Structure 1
Amino acid sequence: MKPLKHLLSDTLVYGISSVIARFINYLLVPFHTGLFNPDAYGVVGLVYAAIGLLQVLFTFGMESSYLRYGKDREQVAHLFSTIQRALLAIGLLISLILLLFQTPLSGLLSLRADASVEGRIYLLMIGILLVDALAIVPFAELRLSKRAYSFAWLKLGHVAINVGLNGYLILVLDWGIEAIFMANFLASAAVLLGVFGLTRSLWRGSWSSDMLRKMVEFGWPFIPAGLAHVVNETLDRFFLKSLSSEQIYAIYGLEWSADYIVGVYNACYKLAVFMLLLVQMYRMAWQPFFMRQSDEPNAPIIFGQAFRYFNVAAAAVFLGVGLFVESIVAIPVPFLNTTLIDQAYWSGLSIVPWLLLAYWFQGWYVNFSAGIFIQEKTKNLAQITGLGALITVIVNVALIPVLGMTGAAIATVLSYGTMALVLHKVAQRAMKVPFGLVRAFGAMLIAAGAVWSAEFVQIMVGWSAEMVGLLLFVLSMILIVPLQLMNRAGKTA
């Protein structure tokens, strides 16, 4: 259990800081949805979708390469310096290409290249991409060298600066949505300076072409894999944007614009942040953890135990958000005269359980990746995530014209679910781990059944939605905890 305690400790450090950071950052959601209409917020969603897609090209899979080979502390300075110089060159080259094609690309993002404000948004997008790419490996070094508290403080600093600048630029200077991107850029630049200071000793390393070739060989599969992952995360916005007014009216019976649909979808998507947060903070601790444990003889047993504890936490989040989502969005926000999500966006709440389920599957994917990393079988990742992207495209094309936002959310579930199950099969060939997949599916089915039956149960018993939600939450966890944590002898696994 000692290794699991170390994993829990690191998860809590990353997790608490991430929870605080996400909570503070999440205050921007009611702030933005209360001030900007869904059409304008739809543009924000499209630009950040593009940032997510392009970020994969800017980082070139180097974070994973550094986490894999940075364990060799004798060569780490040369490794660090080589990667950073390569990322700077790659970033400048891609930035130049983006500037050359600004006019056609701006149209895809609902930006006008000839508009000064929207032109600045495009330039800020490039700036955010370049600055964040240069920070990715220094942050990986903080994780690898177990400086979790430094990592946490810098992430919190980013959020504090970002939120503060949003308030100043929008409320004091009366900026529009461009304030969101300017605040992000300045916060990222400030944090980049901070993380550079903490890793300055590693810049003394010399350039090594041999190291770079090794890093690229390991990291290149993460480029198509990362692109496919971002396709799964963001392509649905562009499919929703392509809906015609006739299709929108047929689905919703209202004369909404496509940008309006994207804005509603983008706002409700953020409610899945609770599950995404769990997966992200777990991943932050999980990757360095399983690399440190990889040589231990009982590593597969430990990895299986970690997966079961993860499922208990994921079930609690799924139930907590899925059963009480209508109460969550109606929470009043002090001083803003609005609720957590403005009422104009509530028409998209039905997608939230689907997205929570999708991120739960993403958590499975993170767990199953251990054997792939340890045995250096990363080439499989490109194929698996490519399959996920293909499913995303096919299901989005098939369902969005019929179901709209719900179709996009279902596509995300099918994509992540398929990726997780295929990775499980591949990873088991690389390293046999007793994950207990049948029990994990049992926990997921119990939680999903509770959430999607809540309305029916409320009608049957005549209780308030909150009382029914509390009852289903408790009953579900009573079933899920022993299912995941008890072995056949009735002892804690």
Structure 2
Amino acid sequence: MGLLKKLAGQSAVYGISSILGKTINFLLVPLYTGYLAKEDLGSFTLLYALIAFLNVVFTFGMETAYFRFATGKGLHPQKVYQNAQSLVCLVALLLGALLYMTAEPLSLLFDFSGKSHLFQWSAMILTIDALMAIPFAKLRLEGRSLSFALVKLLNIVLNVGFNVLFIVVTFHIIQGDILPQLQTWVSSWFRPDWGVDYILLSNALANFLILPLLWKLVGGWKFELKKVVLLPMWQYALPLLFMGLAGVTNEVFSRGLFEYALPDGFYPQLSSREAGGVFGANFKLAILMSLIIQAFKYAAEPFFFQQAESKNNPELFARVMHWFIIFCSTLMVAVAVNLKLIGALFFQAAGYAIALPMVPILLMGYLLLGVYYNLSIWFKITDQTKYSFYITFTGAVVTILVILTLVPVLGFIGGALSTLACYLTMVIMCYYTGQKYYPIPYQTKKGLVYLTVSFLFSYAGFLWDTGNLFVNFMLHNGILVVFLLLIFLMEKKELYLLFQSISKQKNEN
């Protein structure tokens, strides 16, 4: 129970930063939908899909390799950190320079004629992200979750602040609504035709400002490339690189490929790029599930490695999985039954709610991604990372096939189904291979019950409409209460033991 509390505590700290950060980021949805054209949101969706894909190349699996070799290979953690950070810095600077120099042909390839600066700024974002990756991993390994969270949150606040400045404040200055004394000066540099441009510029500036703070906080790094350290790390990380590429294909290619897979005129009121913007905006409504998964991953990965040598770790991993499914299933129902209300609050322009029916599918997809993160620990602690490539590559193939076959037929729903189908495939493959090579006593039947019932309840709450806003709210959240009662009935014994343990600890203190 103590180890579970430790994991939950660290997840909570990571979660608070993620929740605050993502909430702040989430507030950009009404800003973007209110101030930018749908075509700009389509460009934003495509460019950030490319950035997410290349981010994996820039770090090439070295974060997980750092965790593994700094905790269980007999090497001094600082020596591992210095070599990992040195190699990542070298590769990131070389790749960043290459991307910067090829910005012009890339802008033509992706139909951004005259905007090569978007790819130059993307190169800067990717390079600085990579330079921060191993220092952030070091904070996680050392259990400095509060420092990690504060730096991440500061980065997000800066990013959002620049977005508000460039997209909102300058717009109203130009219109003469505020600070008229600055109108002439702002007009001299403000570009009214820039939309996604200012989003990328804000990201690049925020990263640039946060990098020296993070490096100073981590400290103690000198450039060092030792073959004896890096060769086994590279051999461990290489399958993770391909896993990451396949994984990011699963996660973001549905957004990046959507506008190309959607037939012209599928939605008469939208161009393909505008439809991609609507798709990307609705994707953000699944952000609550995404941030919980991210917070859990931040805490769980170093935690699992640190517990790898314990003889009780299979039972511990099974309990972590069980409560993870319960928590995330509850969250999915809570979000889905209130989805129309959430959409009405955050979409500040007409034409976005058309894609809302896909969001419960995305919530389940992200939940399954979290299940996969739990399951994947077996090949990480047994050094069988080759299986990660097989599994995620299969998931990537499923993603692309579903996009190409279902998006032309089902539109937004087809794009969401690609995410669900991908992670469901990965979960099934990882579960069966893991149980063969590293058996863990998961409560599989209970987990399947929670996943199935929560998905059905989510859609029931989303689709049930009485025509009365208040009645809808009460009925929809009544479904959530019923789900909580189901959990209580199924977990009475476990909850009793949990409360008994808490009471005992309070009495001892």
Asked whether the two chains share a fold, i.e. TM above 0.5, the reply is: yes
* Counterpart among 282, 287, 310 of residue 301 in structure 2: 287
Which residue in 1 is equivalent to 2:247?
Answer: 229
Structure 1 distance, partners of 2:469, 2:363, is 27
Which residue in 2 is equivalent to 1:349?
Answer: 356
* Counterpart among 145, 150, 157 of residue 148 in structure 1: 145
| 1:49 and 1:237 in contact (8 A); partners too | yes
Q: How far does residue 491 in structure 1 lie from its aligned partner after superposition?
A: 6.2
Q: How far does residue 444 in structure 1 lie from its aligned partner after superposition?
A: 1.1
Range with greater deviation from structure 2 (287-296 or 273-282): 287-296
Q: How far does residue 330 in structure 1 lie from its aligned partner after superposition?
A: 1.8
* Counterpart among 118, 123, 127 of residue 121 in structure 1: 118
Structure 2 residue 372 is the aligned partner of structure 1 residue 365: yes
**3-state SS, counterpart of residue 433 of structure 1:** coil
* Counterpart among 160, 180, 190 of residue 199 in structure 2: 180
Q: How far does residue 84 in structure 1 lie from its aligned partner after superposition?
A: 2.0
Structure 2 distance, partners of 1:321, 1:47, is 27
Which residue in 2 is equivalent to 1:276?
Answer: 290
Structure 2 residue 419 is the aligned partner of structure 1 residue 422: no
Distance change (3 Å), C-alpha of 1:486 and 1:392: farther
Structure 2 distance, partners of 1:354, 1:342, is 23
- Listed as ranges, the gaps of 5+ residues in structure 2 are 171-185, 500-509
Structure 1 distance, partners of 2:101, 2:131, is 22
Structure 2 residue 310 is the aligned partner of structure 1 residue 296: yes
Aligned positions, number: 476
Q: Which amino acid aligns with 1:417?
A: L
Range with greater deviation from structure 2 (455-464 or 210-219): 455-464
State the Cα RMSD in Å.
2.3
Distance change (3 Å), C-alpha of 1:108 and 1:352: farther
| 2:465 and 2:472 in contact (8 A); partners too | yes
Relative to the length of structure 1, the TM-score reads: 0.91
Relative to the length of structure 2, the TM-score reads: 0.88
Q: How far does residue 76 in structure 1 lie from its aligned partner after superposition?
A: 2.4
Which residue in 2 is equivalent to 1:8?
Answer: 8
Structure 2 residue 160 is the aligned partner of structure 1 residue 163: yes
Identity, % of aligned positions: 29
Q: How far does residue 299 in structure 1 lie from its aligned partner after superposition?
A: 1.3
Distance change (3 Å), C-alpha of 1:342 and 1:441: farther
Q: How far does residue 239 in structure 1 lie from its aligned partner after superposition?
A: 2.9
Q: How far does residue 319 in structure 1 lie from its aligned partner after superposition?
A: 0.6
Q: How far does residue 303 in structure 1 lie from its aligned partner after superposition?
A: 1.1
Which residue in 2 is equivalent to 1:312?
Answer: 326
Structure 2 distance, partners of 1:386, 1:492, is 40
**3-state SS, counterpart of residue 207 of structure 1:** coil
Which residue in 2 is equivalent to 1:449?
Answer: 456
| 1:267 and 1:345 in contact (8 A); partners too | yes
Structure 2 distance, partners of 1:486, 1:110, is 59
Which residue in 1 is equivalent to 2:182?
Answer: none
Q: How far does residue 327 in structure 1 lie from its aligned partner after superposition?
A: 0.4
Q: Deviations over 1:211-246 (max 9, x none)?
A: 1111111111111111111111222234322246xx
Q: How far does residue 199 in structure 1 lie from its aligned partner after superposition?
A: 2.1
Q: Which amino acid aligns with 2:117?
A: R
Which residue in 2 is equivalent to 1:110?
Answer: 111
Q: How far does residue 22 in structure 1 lie from its aligned partner after superposition?
A: 1.0
Distance change (3 Å), C-alpha of 1:460 and 1:369: same
| 2:336 and 2:461 in contact (8 A); partners too | no
Q: Deviations over 1:283-323 (max 9, x none)?
A: 11111111121222221111111111111111121111111
Q: How far does residue 208 in structure 1 lie from its aligned partner after superposition?
A: 0.9
Which residue in 2 is equivalent to 1:218?
Answer: 236
Which residue in 1 is equivalent to 2:476?
Answer: 469
Q: Which amino acid aligns with 2:305?
A: M
- Listed as ranges, the gaps of 5+ residues in structure 1 are 332-338
Structure 2 distance, partners of 1:378, 1:327, is 43
Q: Which amino acid aligns with 1:479?
A: L
Range with greater deviation from structure 2 (168-177 or 254-263): 168-177
Q: How far does residue 102 in structure 1 lie from its aligned partner after superposition?
A: 2.9
Q: Deviations over 1:36-86 (max 9, x none)?
A: 011111001111000001111100111111111122696223222222221
Which residue in 2 is equivalent to 1:241?
Answer: 259
Structure 2 residue 53 is the aligned partner of structure 1 residue 53: yes
Distance change (3 Å), C-alpha of 1:126 and 1:462: closer
